[in-house]
Amino acid sequence: MRDEGRDTAMSAQDGICSLEVVSQRASQTQRLGAALGALLQKGDLILLDGQLGAGKTTFTQGLARGMQVATVVNSPTFTLLKEYQGVAASQGNQPLTLYHFDLYRLEDPDEIIDLGFEDYFYGSGVCVVEWAGNAEELWPVERLDIRLSSVDETKRRLLFVASGPRYCELLRQFQKNMYAITRS
């Protein structure tokens, strides 16, 4: 789908759906994150990848806002994990925790298992993982991957790749909501 002021394209095949969006500025990247965050449910896994400065943390800040997290969200580069309490609209205002991982400094993917982080990925919160490619072999098949890349100083390309029925439906709903936001 192409629309004035916004560049998107969605495709689907073999249980994998994808959507490409071009964000014109950081505030728009945060709005995209907020639109997705409002749809998340416990157990959801969002994997982010992209170069330094591509917008991973900016997107996560928006995602947290969509989950109604009231505290400031920043990258857990030195701690690997930060927890934020929020309320997801799709959960009927029941508390939902955002587990924000940053694997930039991870040297060995097995460290995640050694530290017990694997329990979070199958728990009662939402997990968002920056630098997810540093532990690619650990992720379940069903998930939402988001690859961010810089087009220029302010413009970012976001490629959403949903694997499995839950995440394909999430991506379809996100696209519908995103369309409504950009039209208003």
The alpha carbon dihedral of 132, 169, 29, 24 has a sign of: positive
Q: H/E element holding 26?
A: helix 26-37
Write down all domains in the chain, each with its CATH number in brackets.
Answer: 19-183 (3.40.50.300)
Higher pLDDT, 52 or 3: 52
Separation CA 137–CA 133 (nearest Å): 9
pLDDT digits (tens, 9 = 90+) for 108-156: 878 878 877 878 887 789 999 999 999 988 899 999 999 999 999 999 9
Instruction: Give the pLDDT score at 162.
Output: 97
Q: Predicted confidence band at 181 (pLDDT cuts at 50, 70, 90)?
A: low
Q: Which residue(s) pair with 101 in the sheet?
A: 81, 129
Q: Per-residue pLDDT averaged across 46-50, rounded?
A: 97
Q: Per-residue pLDDT averaged across 47-63, rounded?
A: 95
Higher pLDDT, 163 or 78: 163
Instruction: Give the pLDDT score at 45.
Output: 96
